């Protein structure tokens, strides 16, 4: 017979878990999330359960199961590795008309624990005939589709309002956050940057208005003031607007300006952080921005104006002396003067440098150099924006990784 599915509201109700092993470890957190008052009866528990006990979230009776333990429980979980104990627990619960789940025998169990997941206010529970692995696989597919907006995102009565500043990540569409992808699927209007993941725009519903807010270096661009106006205009019309930006909205993304402009007009703003390219692009090229014993600090610098320019607020002499990793954005066109400045202010001409173009994308390529050679090498290789420049000894870590991998190739 098919099970009759219910959503149990366990808040403030006692639930007994017999057994303290890995099955109990998986089930107890879900019971706690539902507000249940959980009691564990077991001679031992896992480290994870011990942590929950230490914080007072779970009551532990360190002994074997005894008749009468199920009294007062609304639900019982028999999770021991001893079939005879599980059978005894289930039999007592059955006699006292208390629902009991047997972890070891789905056919003898009065109830099944579904594979469950939650996305906002939507709860998903899959039983799959009592097959836990199959149920988990289906659950994952359904939850994933709800999270990324593939299923029912724009049919939600409680659709978001206002403006969402969404960080799209460094370029690879798979690196946008789950929350960012979900909000993108609910948008009425999308205002997109040039560096936002373009593949995600192809997935938008045909009725979504797409506005190109590209800023091309030394080329056409939409003024920031106009972008602010568009966000406000569409939001005031009752549309949900997503401002899709490359990287993170607040890392040289002018997201703060957009947030302030909306706030002044009384428009609610949701901020969704994104993976920022100054960390992601080096990582994609096997270079950690910090490394034990090499660098315990890193600096992210926007070089939209060169060293020596009166508009620059960067303390180049201090950076040259710091010894930390320097990660430069918008630096390709000015790499020569940057290298000269750092060398003049104390950095060794032999300091390793890596330039990563199109980080995380299929077109990614990386160039190794030193401070004294990087300008010439970048010019010869035809490196163009978007590119990230990494300066410091962490670059050697990436080279070492490549050497180790090459040595292991048969």
What tokens were used for 340? 């000269």
Q: Which one is catalytic: 96, 106, 215, 239?
A: 215
CB contact burial 139-163 (16+ within 10 A = b; e otherwise): beebbeebbbbebebeeeeeebebb
Question: Catalytic pick from 172, 193, 248, 358?
Answer: 193
- 212 belongs to the catalytic site: no
Phi/psi of residue 118, each to 5°? -140, 135
Query: DSSP per residue over 22-85, as a string?
Result: HHHHHHHHHHHHTT-EEEEE-S---HHHHHHHHTTSSEEE-S---TTTTTT-SEEEE--S-HHH
Roughly how many angstroms between the first and final C-alpha of the chain, as a whole number? Answer: 56
Residue with tokens 């624990």: 113
In whole angstroms, give the CA distance from residue 67 to residue 314. 73
* Contact present, 186 and 153 (Cβ < 8 Å): yes
In this structure, the number of other CB atoms found within 10 A of the CB of residue 385 comes to 16
Q: Name the 3-class secondary structure at 270.
A: strand
96 in catalytic set: no
Task: Give the residue numbers marked as catalytic.
Answer: 193, 215
């Amino acid at each position: 017979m098919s099970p009759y599915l219910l959503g149990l509201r366990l808040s403030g109700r006692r639930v007994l878990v017999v057994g303290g092993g890995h099955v109990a470890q998986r089930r107890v957190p879900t019971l706690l999330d539902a507000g249940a008052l959980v009691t564990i009866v077991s001679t031992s528990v896992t480290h994870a359960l011990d942590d929950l006990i230490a914080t007072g979230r779970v009551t532990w009776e360190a002994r074997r199961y005894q008749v009468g333990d199920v009294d007062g429980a609304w639900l019982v979980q028999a999770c021991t590795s001893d079939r005879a104990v599980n059978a005894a627990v289930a039999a007592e619960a059955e006699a006292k008309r208390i629902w009991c789940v047997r972890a070891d025998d789905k056919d003898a169990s009065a109830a099944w624990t579904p594979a469950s997941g939650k996305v906002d206010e939507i709860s998903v529970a899959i039983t799959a005939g009592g097959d836990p692995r199959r149920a988990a696989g289906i659950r994952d597919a359904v939850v994933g589709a709800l999270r990324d907006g593939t299923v029912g995102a724009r049919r939600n009565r409680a659709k978001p309002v206002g403006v969402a500043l969404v960080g799209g990540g460094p370029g690879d569409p798979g690196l946008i956050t789950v929350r960012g992808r979900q909000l993108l699927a609910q948008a009425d209007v999308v205002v997109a940057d040039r560096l936002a993941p373009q593949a995600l725009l192809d997935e938008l519903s045909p009725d979504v208005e797409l506005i190109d807010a590209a800023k091309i270096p030394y080329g056409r661009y939409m003024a920031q003031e106009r972008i602010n106006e568009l966000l406000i205009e569409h939001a005031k019309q009752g549309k949900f607007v997503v401002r899709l930006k490359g990287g993170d909205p607040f890392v040289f993304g002018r997201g703060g300006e957009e947030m302030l402009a909306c706030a002044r007009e009384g428009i609610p703003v949701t901020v969704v952080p994104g993976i920022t390219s100054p960390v992601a692009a080096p990582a994609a090229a096997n270079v950690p921005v910090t490394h034990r014993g090499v660098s315990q600090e890193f600096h992210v610098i926007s070089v939209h104006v060169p060293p020596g320019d009166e508009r620059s607020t960067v303390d180049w002499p201090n950076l040259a002396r710091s010894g930390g990793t320097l990660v430069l954005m918008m630096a390709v066109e000015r790499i020569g003067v940057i290298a000269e400045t750092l060398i003049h202010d104390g950095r060794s001409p032999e300091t390793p440098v890596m330039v990563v173009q199109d980080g995380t994308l299929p077109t990614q390529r990386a160039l190794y150099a030193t401070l004294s050679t990087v300008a010439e090498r970048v010019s010869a290789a035809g490196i163009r924006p978007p590119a990230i420049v990494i300066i410091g000894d962490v670059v050697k870590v990436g080279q070492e990784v490549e050497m180790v991998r090459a040595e292991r190739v048969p």
